[in-house]
Amino acid sequence: MCCSKKYSGTFENIVLAILLVVTVALFSLPIIFYYISDIFVSISSTMILDSTNNSNISDIYNETFPEINCSTIPVQWSKVNASLNCYEYAGSICEAFLTQWSECAAMREGSSVHVGVTEEKQMKHESTLKTLNGFIGSPIFKSCAKVALPFLCQYMFPLSDCSTGTSYSATRDDCIIISEGVCADVWDLGLKFDYDLPNCDELPKAN
């Protein structure tokens, strides 16, 4: 009888220990999966970055915008009569596209392109685009790059007509098409790493 109680108590302890382990595991699994997911995404992004960082970023952009004319420019724009400050575009990443865009808008002045963001902010955007290039510039996202790169140039460097105060900016229409369609996977990754991607609902409609 004594031994029976002893074994019964031992069995109960074993069952309780198993239940405790299972309970802890069930609560821990989501946390473990979350961190594993983060590690996987980080490793994946690093691999993509390494595969593209050896390329000259301006070359990648020039390949994306080969001899674009106004009828084949891959994005729309919103023309807003707003009084914006004018700053000469001091970067290099979006130079090819912004030059063509300003010519299509019939507003290019001399050899300079003007945008509505300060030089300090321009440098910040250039840095962001260089990082994003690690994802979008990868050959596996070539179809995404064709529309995403011009759109991001529009969004980060809205053209500004110094003589009229008119602003030419990225549109909600393109943003939705890009973020929910051809670039959905890359877009989600960009949001996860807080790469200053726009909220489509806050952008103006094309006009």
pTM: 0.66
Q: What is the mean pLDDT of the chain?
A: 73
Determine the pLDDT at residue 8.
56
- Is the pLDDT reported for residue 18 higher than 70? yes
**Region 2-6 average pLDDT:** 51
Name the β-bridge partners of 160: 167
What's the CA gap between 94 and 149, in Å, rounded? 8
**What is the percent of the chain where pLDDT is above 90?**
16
d(CA 123, CA 20): 54
200, containing H or E segment: none
Encode pLDDT of 21-77 as tens digits: 666 656 655 555 444 444 434 444 444 444 444 444 555 556 655 555 666 666 777
Confidence of residue 201 (pLDDT cuts 50, 70, 90): very high
Rounded CA gap, 185 and 105, in Å?
32
